[in-house]
Amino acid sequence: MTDQIISTSVLVIGTGGAGLRAAIELRQQGVDVLAVGKRRKYDAHTTLAAGGINAALGTMDPEDSWQQHAADTIKESYDLADPQIVEIMAKNAPEGIRELEAWGMPLAREADGRISQRFFGAHTYRRTCFAGDYTGLEIQRTLLHRAATLNVPIIDTVYISRLLVADNQIFGAYGFDIVDGSRVIIHADAVIMATGGHTRIWRQTTSRRDENTGDSFRLAALAGARLRDAELVQFHPSGILEPADAAGLLISEAARGEGGILRNALGERFMSRYDPERMELSTRDRVALAISTEISEGRGTPKGGVLLDLTHVSREVILTRLPRVYRNMLDVQMLDITKDPIEIAPTAHYSMGGIWVRPEDHGTDVVGLYAIGEASSGTHGANRLGGNSLAELLVYGRIVGAAAAQYSRNLGSQVRSTEAVETARDEIDRLLAGRGFDNVRSMQRAIRDLMSEHAGVIRNEEGLTKGLAKLAAVEARLPDLAVHPDIAGFDDLAHALDLLGSLMAARATIESALARKETRGAHNRSDYPELDPALRVNMVWSFADGVTQERVAETPPEIAKLMMSTDDSVVGKLLE
């Protein structure tokens, strides 16, 4: 089969919000761009973001400022966020909202026309803009419309299996069409990765099948980039347990904000043991830890969860304030939440770590390679502030698009490597030639099981070490892997490459979790229950060096002062 060759100035991998915003910027600057993705552009992960997008507009609370937004973000990160990245995000978020507004996004508004803003947990002021509980979906639609207006070329059936690098300089990517299996070499001056995270490697996850499998980690690491904070994963407190194909489906934290009560199998309202002041309105990491502790200590339900009880809340409130939760539970479980509690457990929700990037332009260690959105790192540290992920992707989508445009314009020459292309081609050939008896799904399930058992909300040295041993056993099964494309398409090949990404992401996560011998934010070590001030570092992972430590830059004094004066009250504040 002859490889098709495509050339472009900048290749964007990923067609969610981050990738689209970068592609739009490149097109607006008159630079040739191609965006590719492995799932349909209207079904990108961005569409699942419900709650809102942060920007210090001051429409509701005029005293808000980008400095306070930055202070709230760094404080919630447990001091592991990169202060410069956070400053850039907070300063530029209002411009992102103005762009969406200009491009026709139907943001919620007050009676006088102002953009509505509401509280999310851990925000000092109301700064979260929204469009009902479909904010991410509306952002994706708005960006797709803008991209179509600009005639941005998008191919949403291409799986990128390798980045192409020569002498530590990117020169494109290699992949195949998921529908017909045709191979493609894409030559590009620069490549922007907007490829998501790795939360699908846990059993309970808000990610859907075949997304966020860790393939972004593998692509970057094989190209010579480093990963940062792979161990820092945000577990949302409330994901449903069944049916199996919906396990991890999110129950919005607004359910607790509207009066939902958490009870264990004994009927106890257990949050009084963990945060007696804030109770169910505590921070996401604390509630997830509380639920996991109840389950691990034997007070969970027979199915391994706890109960979220809304039966005391009026039916009118539920139907007007929680319509999506009400409808979803009827659809997937035939459960009427006005009459029966919801069985939930923590669910892997967001990769706060990702590819190591520079603050100013999100460039990586590989010349010409950039990363944005959940594929990148540095914004969220050890706990993500609700509403920041959508702000981040808009801000850095624009900045990185401009940086890649400038890099392409200034590029005098580019070295290509036939060896790099042959390596990418041979990898797919070997997978397709495999005639073993082991299948991808069983190996993926083994990864998800071991990550859930040994690297979930609560971790310790013994469990993480056992997890590494089990991971090695899964890796040893790779020679027996069978890949069988058929008339329906080449999804099986895509699943096999997803598996390779999951294996590498799991290893980086466990090894980094072993190195972080403390409890900080979403990272809970039962054998090291206290935060260690000496570990205000990022864990950086690479094939060459394993895990190394990198000091976090100091927070500017004006931001640090605001962090000290932040009000932790939850009165009137709903959560994402």
- pLDDT tens column, 448-490: 999 999 999 999 999 999 999 999 999 999 999 989 888 888 9
**What is this structure's pTM?**
0.94
Q: Please identify which of the residues 27, 200, 256, 286 carries the catalytic annotation.
A: 256
Q: Please identify which of the residues 236, 349, 362, 495 carries the catalytic annotation.
A: 236
- Give CA 400 to chain center in angstroms: 18
380 has catalytic annotation: no
Listed range (41-55, 388-402, 512-526, 546-560) with the worst mean pLDDT: 41-55
pLDDT of amino acid 425 = 97
pLDDT digits (tens, 9 = 90+) for 326-379: 999 999 999 999 999 999 999 999 999 999 999 999 999 999 999 999 999 999
Q: Are 235 and 456 in contact (CB under 8 A)?
A: yes
Length of the chain: 576
pLDDT of amino acid 131 = 86
pLDDT of amino acid 86 = 98
Higher pLDDT, 260 or 386: 260
Q: Are 352 and 373 in contact (CB under 8 A)?
A: no
Q: How many beta carbons lie within 10 A of that of residue 20, not counting itself? A: 30
Given a cut of 90, whether residue 391 has pLDDT beyond it is yes
pLDDT of amino acid 102 = 97
pLDDT of amino acid 568 = 57
pLDDT of amino acid 249 = 85
Given a cut of 90, whether residue 246 has pLDDT beyond it is no
pLDDT digits (tens, 9 = 90+) for 166-183: 999 999 999 999 999 999
pLDDT of amino acid 129 = 92
Mean pLDDT for the stretch of residues 100-123? 90
pLDDT of amino acid 334 = 96
- Give CA 572 to chain center in angstroms: 27
Given a cut of 60, whether residue 226 has pLDDT beyond it is yes
C-alpha distances out from residue 516 to 386, 525, 530, Å: 24, 8, 11
Rounded CA gap, 222 and 419, in Å? 14
Tokens at 223, concatenated:
């190209």
pLDDT digits (tens, 9 = 90+) for 272-293: 999 999 899 887 888 999 999 9
Of residues 423, 439, 428, 448, the one with CA closest to residue 493 = 428
Q: Are 451 and 205 in contact (CB under 8 A)?
A: no
pLDDT of amino acid 149 = 98
Mean pLDDT for the stretch of residues 515-544? 97
Burial 277-293 (b: 16+ CB within 10 A, else e): ebbbbbbbbbbbbbbbb
Given a cut of 50, whether residue 575 has pLDDT beyond it is no
What integer best gives the mean pLDDT of the chain?
A: 93
Q: Which long-range contacts (CB under 8 A, 24 or more apart) does 257-260 make?
A: 257/281, 257/573, 257/574, 257/575, 258/310, 258/313, 258/317, 258/318, 258/321, 258/322, 258/574, 259/310, 259/312, 259/313, 259/317, 260/308, 260/309, 260/310, 260/313
Please tell me whether residue 26 adopts helix, strand or coil conformation: helix
Grade residue 1 by pLDDT with cuts at 50, 70 and 90.
low
CB neighbour list of residue 149: distance below 8 Å, 6 or more residues apart: none
Grade residue 576 by pLDDT with cuts at 50, 70 and 90.
very low
pLDDT of amino acid 329 = 95
Mean pLDDT for the stretch of residues 492-519? 97
pLDDT of amino acid 322 = 86
256 has catalytic annotation: yes
Given a cut of 80, whether residue 424 has pLDDT beyond it is yes
Q: How many beta carbons lie within 10 A of that of residue 418, not counting itself? A: 8
Rounded CA gap, 358 and 220, in Å? 14
Please tell me whether residue 569 adopts helix, strand or coil conformation: coil
Higher pLDDT, 573 or 35: 35
Whether the bond between 243 and the residue before it is cis, its omega within 30 degrees of 0, is: yes
Given a cut of 60, whether residue 60 has pLDDT beyond it is yes
C-alpha distances out from residue 137 to 12, 17, 45, 95, 205, Å: 20, 10, 9, 20, 19
CB neighbour list of residue 197: distance below 8 Å, 6 or more residues apart: 207, 212, 214, 216, 350, 351, 354, 374, 375
The DSSP symbol for 350 reads E
Given a cut of 80, whether residue 254 has pLDDT beyond it is no
pLDDT of amino acid 566 = 59
Q: Which long-range contacts (CB under 8 A, 24 or more apart) does 559-564 make?
A: 559/67, 559/70, 559/71, 559/74, 559/83, 559/87, 560/71, 562/67, 562/68, 562/70, 562/71, 563/71, 563/72, 563/74, 563/75
Tokens at 454, concatenated:
């040994």
Mean pLDDT for the stretch of residues 200-219? 93
